[in-house]
Structure 1
Amino acid sequence: MKSFILASGSPRRKELLEQAHYSFSVKTSHVIEKVEEGLSPAEVVQQLASQKAEEVWKKNKEAIVLGSDTVVAFGDEILGKPEDKEEAQAMLTMLSGHTHSVYTGVALYSQEGNKMFYEKTDVEFYSLSDDDIAMYIRSGEPFDKAGSYGIQGFGAYLVKRIIGDYFAVVGLPIAKTMRELQKLGITPNM
């Protein structure tokens, strides 16, 4: 059986693959992320996922390597991880009462070739009071999450509705990923 490597240190991606019964190892990519100017959010996540997968694959060419990246986009603005409480507050205030888009890109590298794809999910937030935002920031969740929130944790409190793949918002569109892995001979260990 081919070896399967997740090129990500994300505990959420690891958990999703474990829940899908995959056998894999984790080799975190340490690539310095570089994005070309003028790319759409869909292109950005695919480029970043590809950079991560390629870096790990170059050292493990016998394996199937999965890289992934997620961004939050509000209009034309891509929101990264907040650097501090003030930036988290500004992002959450911006998203309050509005719909934004979450893009997750996936890159699969193998000797058979490379495959990239993405999923876009629209997320609508409730209108948040200053107290709602302050409470969420006190939870500590915003600081390692794109857009300053995680849908799978306490951040679920912020979300009114989603249109698209919930798991893509968490960090990996697992159903589509499973179908692409199957084409490469990687199947759940059941």
Structure 2
Amino acid sequence: MRLVLASASPSRRMILNSAGVQPLLRPTQVDEEAIAASLGNAPAGEVVAALAQAKADAVAAEYPDDVVIGGDSMLLLGDKLQGKPLTVENTIQRWREQAGATAELLTGHCIIYGEQRVLETTRTTVTFAEASETDIIAYARSGEPLHCAGAFTLEALGGWFIDRIEGDPSSVIGLSLPLLRRALYSFGLDVSQFWES
């Protein structure tokens, strides 16, 4: 039995690797904009959960005897839900808005094992530093935050610009180990059976 990660996220893979697991990587493409649009004015937590579910569902049929994990993260700043900035210009603008602010990083998880599934969104409060304009531009130009929810990482260069988090740090990086552990237990599985020997 394997953990199958329906994601191309190097951060999610790194979390599992650090926790002793070599997941089978099966990244999938879903139309995130269409899924979010179909939900209308749904609460932010439902949006990220739906995106995670779409990714897990796209892969799960191929791996009925394995545990499939889909995930998606977005930053809720005020009432605005933000995904990946994708460009240097968007990243700079986002950081000008979020520097010194507090926001919620929402991570949707869909974990499937056969007919069983856990669908849940974790919420972690993130307080951003009052980063200087020079550092904001340098960080954006580094390329690191372009494909990250909320235009930041916790575990790399972005760590310089995060003053505080309240909640699950692994969830901010992209995958909640506590939530995954609870899901595995609910399926009658143990975490240790997925560790590399």
Structure 1, unaligned stretches of length 5 or more?
none
8 A contact 1:22–1:187 mirrored in 2: no
8 A contact 2:171–2:177 mirrored in 1: yes
Query: Residues 147-190 of structure 1: CA distance to partner in whole angstroms, max 9, x if unpaired?
Result: 21111111111111111111111001112212212332252225
Partner of 1:18: 17
How many Å separate the matches in 1 of 2:16 and 2:96?
33
8 A contact 2:139–2:157 mirrored in 1: yes
Query: Residues 18-65 of structure 1: CA distance to partner in whole angstroms, max 9, x if unpaired?
Result: 222235311112222212111222111111110000110122223221
Query: Residues 104-137 of structure 1: CA distance to partner in whole angstroms, max 9, x if unpaired?
Result: 1110112232211121011111212211211212
- Structure 1 runs (4+) deviating above 4 angstroms are none
How much is the aligned-residue C-alpha RMSD, in angstroms? Answer: 1.6
Structure 2, unaligned stretches of length 5 or more?
none
- Alpha-carbon offset, residue 83 of structure 1: 3.1
**Equivalence map 1:33-182=2 (5 Å):** 33=32, 34-35=35-36, 36-182=39-185
Matched to 1:8, the amino acid is: S
- Alpha-carbon offset, residue 97 of structure 1: 0.9
Matched to 2:9, the amino acid is: S
Change in Cα spacing, 1:50 to 1:186, as seen in structure 2 (3 Å) is: farther
**Equivalence map 1:27-38=2 (5 Å):** 27-33=26-32, 34-35=35-36, 36-38=39-41
Where 1:182 maps in the other structure, the secondary structure is helix
How many Å separate the matches in 1 of 2:2 and 2:169?
28
Matched, 1:8 2:7: yes
Matched to 2:69, the amino acid is: L
Higher helix share: 2
Matched to 2:150, the amino acid is: G
Identity of aligned residues (%): 30
How many Å separate the matches in 1 of 2:68 and 2:6?
7
